[in-house]
Amino acid sequence: MPHVNQARATMADVARLANVSEKSVSRVVNQESHVSAKLREKVEAAIAELGYVPDLAARSLAGSRSFTVSLLFDTRGPNYAIKLIEGAYEACKRHGYHLRIENLDSFAGEDGWLDRLGEILSHSRLDGLIVTPPFSDSAVIMDYLEDRQIRFARIAPFKERGRGSCVFMDDAAAAAQVADFLVANGHRKIGLVNGALKHGAAIARREGFLNRIAQIAPEAEISEADGDFLFESGIRAGRALLDTSNAPTAIFAANDDSAAGVMTACAQLGIRVPDDVSICGFDDSWSATAVWPYLTTIYQPISELAHEATELLIAGNGAAVMNDQVLLAHRLIERASVKNLAR
Amino acid sequence: MPHVNQARATMADVARLANVSEKSVSRVVNQESHVSAKLREKVEAAIAELGYVPDLAARSLAGSRSFTVSLLFDTRGPNYAIKLIEGAYEACKRHGYHLRIENLDSFAGEDGWLDRLGEILSHSRLDGLIVTPPFSDSAVIMDYLEDRQIRFARIAPFKERGRGSCVFMDDAAAAAQVADFLVANGHRKIGLVNGALKHGAAIARREGFLNRIAQIAPEAEISEADGDFLFESGIRAGRALLDTSNAPTAIFAANDDSAAGVMTACAQLGIRVPDDVSICGFDDSWSATAVWPYLTTIYQPISELAHEATELLIAGNGAAVMNDQVLLAHRLIERASVKNLAR
DNA sequence: AGGGTTATAGTCAGCGCTGTCAAGACAGCG
DNA sequence: CGCTGTCTTGACAGCGCTGACTATAACCCT
């Protein structure tokens, strides 16, 4: 069983070369205070010469840190998941941390979640956990983690934002921006395709949109259709909304996938986008540019959310409790699926 | 800096409770031979009673294994990447291994790849590396890994399948199956939308398809169009193929995304799918069921590929060299985008 | 029965690092 | 000048486990 890596320089090698104690090398590596500039220079030179990189296993065994954070996610939305991973990975890379991913089946139910979580935590130490939707709104998970004093950062939570560190965007404000945009483009008969309303995001988007419309264009006619964020529900909702004599001139779907479904419904009904009806999505996911015309949508800073959450976890290392709240900006991406009625 | 986990039972605790030496516990945990049934039972009872789980850091520091494998992937195809992650994760979970993700920019060029790879390997030991496309066909990466005696498993390689362990599917055979299917459905004027031909997969699909057509329906008229696996290239290719007086009755696109593009071209041209033209994709990706009608396509066992590669890596732990070759089955998924001309 | 071999269990050092404690250096001050 | 307090450095044990080695017990053969 050969070691996978070559013989690597150890702290002892560095200490010998720099003619100092191992502990001093450790101090320099860990940027502890009370280290003279001269010592630091000597050590750093030796480190550079030997290409020394501290051994993670030894560090974690001897010390109280593991240099590892875990990302608790589920796979149902591939785009979402992969962007989370990207963001978290980047932050880890920057700080020399490792990212461990934990794929948890969101359909397993909260008991199933806890079982798996227990396993995950028992197998190894970790410096913190990034909790993503839908887990980030699970009170039992938070109880469990607080119980065991595991630091965690929540991504896009809607409940109890005071618990743990939270990183999120303002779904309601983003939906309101869509409302502004549609009204500014002259639309007054607007369809709304909802997401699964047990999700905080679906509720926030709906309310943000409706409230803003009520403010700025109370005369507007709004028709709603149920949806569940999936493509097929978009087709159904699109047909329900459009196959009437008094069809809307614009439709806002709660996410891009269902917006793509609405577009398909348009194709089936012989309705042109955006000439006959304008469509807005939400997420700026893969599917936003896998339809024609490309979808006007809200850019969600998904990988930034994960990045920021990871940064909080790493920076907060040592703190017993974390309680930051970070709001990240969304952005309306104007593409080709909305027509200005005034022109 | 509180430890993230509670005080956990150690091997010494187990040894004390079972009244045996630590080494014996270690033997049981590692399923070494030369352990009597009686001893094993005692130890296992103690382990169960204490809920003992071996500490990964200590194991990896003391021993020659790290219980960690890394997945080298790139993010350009979210569906592909996430399925790889899922498959690898499942296999790791089964064996109590950890999966470390390494996100490498495929556009960084081979020098960039090696730099990053060096960093990745220097930071920690690992028991093996899963190398995914496009990295799995990079000779310099293989050289590098062989040089350092790092065991690796390659996913979907096209070159030098004798190096490392390889897990793949037969792209050419799958494309041939599409040819069979289209011909069986009465199509003799067929369009082919190629993928980026610098990829082995694109070449294999093209040749597998063309060769089979030449065999079973030499009279067929084949028209080809360039593509690059992306949605937009599908639109262009679709227009090129269909906007003529002698349009094909069926189109085979090298992947689902470009097939979706072809469908969009159809919608723009007022051509109905599948009534006027049939369409086949390849991958069974997310987009296959995010278009209407749902796409007939080839199911690629992506997560199974990653699963199998991980299993090989874990099972082969201890072997100096790995040289397995595993072929996984594809499958034609018949949905609604192909019409039988005979009926 | 004796010698050789194999199965089973234990001892102990040490993987590479960090935490704790203590000692030396040095400045400030009465 | 001696004492205290702060800064800087080092010595050393030990995190939890495994590899190499040793010590018995059990077994086989002639």
How far apart CA B273 and CA B201 sit, in angstroms, is 26
* CB contact (8 A) between residue A100 and residue B98: yes
Closest C1' nucleotide to A62's CA: D15
Residue B286 above 90 pLDDT?
Answer: no
Question: Which residue in B89, B124, B260 is closest to A290 by CB distance?
Answer: B260
Q: Report the pLDDT averaged over residues B232-244.
A: 96
CA–C1' distance B69–D24 (Å)? 40
CA–C1' distance B32–C7 (Å)? 13
Does the nearest atom of strand C lie within 7 Å of A96's Cβ? no
List all residues of chain B from 43 to 62 with a beta carbon under 8 Å from chain A.
51, 53, 55-58, 60-61
How far apart CA A58 and CA A68 sit, in angstroms, is 13
How far apart CA A127 and CA A98 sit, in angstroms, is 10
CA–C1' distance B69–C13 (Å)? 29
pLDDT for residue A48: 94
pLDDT > 90: what percent of chain A? 78
pLDDT for residue A163: 93
Strand (E) or helix (H) holding B150 = none
Does the nearest atom of strand C lie within 7 Å of B33's Cβ? yes
How far apart CA B169 and CA B152 sit, in angstroms, is 18
* CB contact (8 A) between residue B122 and residue A290: no
Q: Report the pLDDT averaged over residues A197-205.
A: 94
Residue B4 above 60 pLDDT?
Answer: no
Does the nearest atom of strand C lie within 7 Å of B36's Cβ? yes
Q: Report the pLDDT averaged over residues B199-211.
A: 96
pLDDT for residue B320: 64
Q: Report the pLDDT averaged over residues A53-81.
A: 89
User: In this structure, are residues B128 and A4 in contact, taking their beta carbons and an 8 Å threshold?
Assistant: yes
Q: Report the pLDDT averaged over residues B187-214.
A: 96
Give tens-digit pLDDT for B300-336.
999 999 999 999 999 887 666 778 999 999 999 999 9
Q: Report the pLDDT averaged over residues B86-111.
A: 91
What rounded mean pLDDT belongs to chain A? 92
Residue B77 above 90 pLDDT?
Answer: no
Does the nearest atom of strand C lie within 7 Å of B3's Cβ? no
Question: How many C-beta neighbours within 10 Å does residue A237 have?
Answer: 27
Q: Report the pLDDT averaged over residues A30-50.
A: 91
Kindly provide the residue ranges of all beta strands, DSSP E only, lying in B257-328, ordered along the sequence. Answer: 278-280, 297-299, 325-328
Q: Kindly report the bases of strand C lying within 7 A of a protein C-beta atom.
A: 7-12, 14-20
Q: Report the pLDDT averaged over residues A297-306.
A: 96
Q: Which of B97, B92, B93 is nearest to B56 (CA)?
A: B97
Q: Report the pLDDT averaged over residues A149-166.
A: 94
Give the number of A-B residue pairs with CB atoms closer than 8 Å. Answer: 157
Residue A1 above 70 pLDDT?
Answer: no
pLDDT for residue B96: 86
Give tens-digit pLDDT for A85-138.
999 999 999 988 989 889 999 889 999 999 999 888 887 788 999 999 999 999
How far apart CA B151 and CA A242 sit, in angstroms, is 57
**Diameter of chain B measured on Cα atoms:** 87
Residue B2 above 90 pLDDT?
Answer: no
How far apart CA A122 and CA A117 sit, in angstroms, is 8
What rounded mean pLDDT belongs to chain B? 92
Q: Which of A99-113, A116-130, B167-181, B280-294 has the lowest mean pLDDT?
A: A116-130
Residue B218 above 60 pLDDT?
Answer: yes
Q: Which positions ≥6 away from A125 have C-beta within 8 Å?
A: A60, A66, A68, B3, B4, B5, B55, B57
pLDDT for residue A4: 36
pLDDT for residue B11: 94
Q: Kindly report the bases of strand D lying within 7 A of a protein C-beta atom.
A: 7-12, 14-20
Residue B148: pLDDT band with limits 50, 70, 90: confident
- Chain A residues in contact with B291 by the CB 8 A cut-off are 264
Residue B6: pLDDT band with limits 50, 70, 90: low
- Chain A residues in contact with B86 by the CB 8 A cut-off are 75, 103
Residue A318 above 70 pLDDT?
Answer: no
Question: What is the gyration radius of the CA atoms in chain B, in angstroms?
Answer: 25
Question: Which residue in A61, A125, A286 is closest to B5 by CB distance?
Answer: A125
Residue A319: pLDDT band with limits 50, 70, 90: low
Residue B5: pLDDT band with limits 50, 70, 90: very low
- Chain A residues in contact with B83 by the CB 8 A cut-off are 78
Question: What is the gyration radius of the CA atoms in chain A, in angstroms?
Answer: 25
pLDDT for residue A283: 94
pLDDT for residue B3: 34
Nearest-neighbour CA in chain B from A214: distance (Å): 33
Partners of B69 in the beta sheet? B99, B128
Residue that has been written with the tokens 């590669």 in this structure: B309
pLDDT for residue A148: 87
pLDDT for residue A291: 93
pLDDT for residue A122: 82
Q: Which of B343, B332, B323 is nearest to B146 (CA)?
A: B323
Q: Report the pLDDT averaged over residues A240-248.
A: 96
